[in-house]
Amino acid sequence: MAVRLRLRRIGKNPKKKPHFRISVFEETRGRDSSFIEEIGYYNPVKGEVKFKKERLEYWVKNGAQVSPTIKSLVKKAK
């Protein structure tokens, strides 16, 4: 089972109030499908990023691939 860390879109209105959750998915799943674990969130309107650093490191250590967007968000958060 290949695992990826990527964004899952949530929010009230798709055009005006986007919010994203940083989640762990099986590679073959869609963007809004079921996930394995939720490790944080991203609010692009406010530029706010919060995630559980320990869980991110755990998944990366165990072979999870990180999407380019998540890499850039983690870099910004540090």
CA of 3: how far to CAs of 30, 40, 76, in Å?
A: 13, 16, 23
User: Over its length of 78 residues, how does the chain's per-residue pLDDT go in tens digits?
Assistant: 689 999 988 877 767 788 899 999 998 887 777 889 999 999 988 889 999 999 999 999 999 999 999 999 999 887
The pLDDT value recorded for residue 72 is 94
**pLDDT computed for residue 14 by the predictor:** 63
Give the count of beta carbons closer than 10 Å to the beta carbon of residue 11. Answer: 14
* 40: three-class secondary structure by DSSP: strand
Rounded to two decimals, the pTM is 0.83
State residue 24's pLDDT score: 93
In order of their start, the domains of the chain are 3-77 (3.30.1320.10)
Contact 4, 65 (CB under 8 A): yes
Supply the pLDDT for residue 64.
92
